[in-house]
Amino acid sequence: MNITKSFNRSLWAFHFNSGSCNGCEIEIVATLTPRYDPERFGIKLVGSPKHADLLLVTGPVVKKMRPRLLRVYEQIPDPKVVMCVGACGISGGPFYDSYNLDGPIDDVIPVDVYVPGCPPRPEGIIFGVVRALQKLERLQGELP
Amino acid sequence: MSDDTKKAVPYTVPIGPTHPALKEPVMFTFQMEGERILKADFAPGQAHRAIEWMGMRRNPVQIVHLTDRICGICGVSHTLSFARAVEQVMEIEVPERADYIRAIIAEFERIQSHILWAGVAAHELGYDTLLHLSWRVREFAMDVLELLTGNRVNYGIIQVGGVRRDITPDQHETIHNCLDYYSDLKAKLLQVFLEDKTIQMRCRDCGVLTHEEALKLCTVGPTARASGVKMDVRVDYPYAAYGDLEISPVLPDAYLGETRGDVYDRIVVRLLEVDQSVDLIRQCLDLIPAGDITWEAKIPKILSAFKKAHGEAIGRHEAPRGEVFHYVRMDGKEHPTTWKVKASSYSNLMSWIPMLEGEQIADIPIVVASIDPCLSCTDRVAIVRDGRRGIMTKEELTRLSVEKTRRLMR
Ligand code: SF4
């Protein structure tokens, strides 16, 4: 991975649960805790979308969460990358035929990185974050 | 107090519903007077995925994988009670070995879930070191679960009529090592959580649920036991292998000599239950008989058996958060005609109201987390005071909580 000049700070992520089963949430938190410890690279979860570069979305987007997801997406400053964690956000997964879904996620907001799995392993999530970082660098390099 | 502030009291604080760190997004509304909560109300149901509706269009072999995904933390609890309900409708005798494997997986799930909760509780108090420590020790249980089932979360191990994977003799050593690790850890965990002065100050007599309220609101699991209600489905209605095991409900007075029903008591109950689970798994490993692990290995045969099943049944299981309950009705079709799920948090949510009323705003995170609700939705708070509106994020709430800890320590 080439660190471009424009990329001069750590990656901060905001996590949004759009009605998931919680499995992906646990794995995201497990990713952040000491065994994997991405915080040594400055990667951490933040409490406000306005501080984030990366949006981690889990869950199949239930109807009530759609406007909230849009609002959160709009609040993240550009350049931003969206990462969809888990099978149910990618395609509906085990909930594909539910009547209460507005998803999958890429029907609601544009997604840059997909991490498949139900739930994905922490290693998979870290790999996805690396990909997201590469894309973010590219986007930041393109900015005037 | 000047006149115009008087007019604004009580003011309303809505919290939620987005960014739950855990399961269900929930919407809270608080009536506040200064820092004190006068009235609390909440609206769950923000993450409705229509699981029962989908289940009634699938056959039980498919549903067991859907029940895994009702809640990612209780991956085996829902599946176990659903499978037990279907097995009773179909009048299947589950092989004894499968019953033991089910109990072992369920207890490992309790270990990881309770330690996960302990970490989250520490985080809500602003004690992040302990969050990271707890989650690190939790990884050992995850490793064993992965070894036994193939998955870290959503194990997919239970099938109607048995389990899908056996525990082989060469796995016993790893399991025993893991159990020894948690036995050695018990004293340390109790020490860091219970003797810590900060935790005592924040949790003692905070978020109290009295014995009568616990009974009246039909709370279940550790929340009920921490208020002195002696109930545990594993003891009251033994199923799987629990009938053969030595087990009694964990109550806080066994350790502390008294029951106050506060947040502290809930920590005590959960930590002691980790140790209880270790003991139960050891008993299971000693007693586990040889034999089949499923009543019928061929899926087409299971499916045709569904078409002959008529009747209704309930399945219950003591999940880490309390009793889960599944009702299934089959009318000679491949899919169930009725399926009703009652998760443990559903029974416990109402207990928030007596717990929160009278507490301070900075206590909301820990009290809400104390029933282990599968959610931590203290994301955004809008304070409307004198018509002005300020939004508080989850971070700010946590900051308030952390500040209170600091104040008390001074
Ligand atoms: S992808 Fe699977 S584990 Fe993740 S939230 Fe969806 S159903 Fe749960």
pLDDT single digits (tens) A57-114: 988 888 878 888 888 899 888 888 999 998 988 988 888 888 888 878 888 899 999 9
ipTM confidence score: 0.86
Note whether residue A144 is domain-resident: no
Token duo for residue A143: 């900015």
Q: Where are the alpha helices (DSSP H) in B160-298?
A: 172-194, 197-203, 211-216, 221-226, 233-236, 252-256, 263-287
pLDDT at A9 over 50: yes
Q: What is the pLDDT of residue A139?
A: 81
- B6-39 pLDDT, tens digit each: 556 677 776 666 544 344 566 777 777 777 777 7
Q: Report the sign of the C-alpha dihedral through residues B149, B154, B156, B157, in that order.
A: positive
pLDDT above 70: percentage of residues in chain B: 85
Q: Which of residues 60-89 of A touch B (CB under 8 A)?
A: 60, 62, 64-65, 68, 72, 88
- B353-403 pLDDT, tens digit each: 888 877 877 777 777 777 776 642 222 233 334 334 444 555 666 676 677
Domain of residue A16, CATH code:
3.40.50.12280
pLDDT at B339 over 80: yes
Inspect the interface and report whether the beta carbons of A97 and B22 lie closer than 8 Å: no
Note whether residue B235 is domain-resident: yes
Report the domain count for chain A. 1
pLDDT at B322 over 70: yes
Whole-angstrom Cα distance, residue A78 to residue A141?
Answer: 12
Q: What is the pLDDT of residue A115?
A: 92
Note whether residue B239 is domain-resident: yes
Distances B220 to A140, B128, B317, B325, B364 between C-alpha atoms, Å: 52, 28, 11, 11, 21
Note whether residue B3 is domain-resident: no
Q: What is the pLDDT of residue A140?
A: 75
Q: What is the pLDDT of residue B393?
A: 55
Q: Which residue of B has its CA nearest to A118?
A: B154
pLDDT at B346 over 50: yes
Give the residue from B95, B100, B181, B112 showing the smallest Cα distance to B146. Answer: B112
Residue tagged 């939790």 (tokens): B138
Distances B35 to A73, B31, B358, B396 between C-alpha atoms, Å: 32, 10, 9, 15
Angle, nearest 10°, between helix axes B128-149 and B96-124?
A: 160
Give the residue from B312, B313, B307, B224 showing the smallest Cα distance to B269. Answer: B224
pTM of the model: 0.86
* B51 vs A: CB within 8 A: yes
Could you write out the DSSP letters of every residue in B318-372? EETTEEEEEEEEEESSSS-SEEEEE-HHHHHGGGHHHHHTTSBGGGHHHHHHHT-
Give the three-state DSSP class for B115: helix
Question: Which domain covers residue A31, as residue numbers?
Answer: 3-138
Note whether residue B23 is domain-resident: no
Whole-angstrom Cα distance, residue B287 to residue B56?
Answer: 37
Whole-angstrom Cα distance, residue B287 to residue B103?
Answer: 12
* 8-state DSSP, A101: B
Inspect the interface and report whether the beta carbons of A26 and B139 lie closer than 8 Å: no
pLDDT at B64 over 80: yes
Domain of residue B341, CATH code:
1.10.645.10
Report the domain count for chain B. 1
Greater confidence (B289 vs B126) lies with: B289
* A51 vs B: CB within 8 A: no
Q: With contact defined as beta carbons under 8 Å apart, do B231 and B316 qualify?
A: no
Note whether residue B15 is domain-resident: no
Quote the ligand 1 centre to B7 CA distance (angstroms).
47
Residues with beta carbon inside 6 Å of ligand 1? A 20-21, 23-24, 58-59, 86-88, 93-94, 118-119; B 69, 72, 154
> What are the beta bridge partners of residue A54?
A13, A81
Give the three-state DSSP class for B37: strand
Give the three-state DSSP class for B190: helix
Question: Which domain covers residue B77, as residue numbers?
Answer: 51-369
* A104 vs B: CB within 8 A: no
What amino acid is encoded at A48 in this protein? S
Q: How many CA atoms lie within 13 A of A113 on its CB side?
A: 23
Residues of B in contact with A100 (CB under 8 A): 48-50
* 8-state DSSP, B161: T
Q: What is the pLDDT of residue B395?
A: 61
Token duo for residue B376: 């931590």
The answer for residues whose C-beta is within 8 angstroms of residue A40's C-beta and 6 or more apart is: none
- B164-208 pLDDT, tens digit each: 888 888 888 999 999 999 988 888 888 888 888 888 888 888 888
Average pLDDT, chain B: 80
Note whether residue B359 is domain-resident: yes
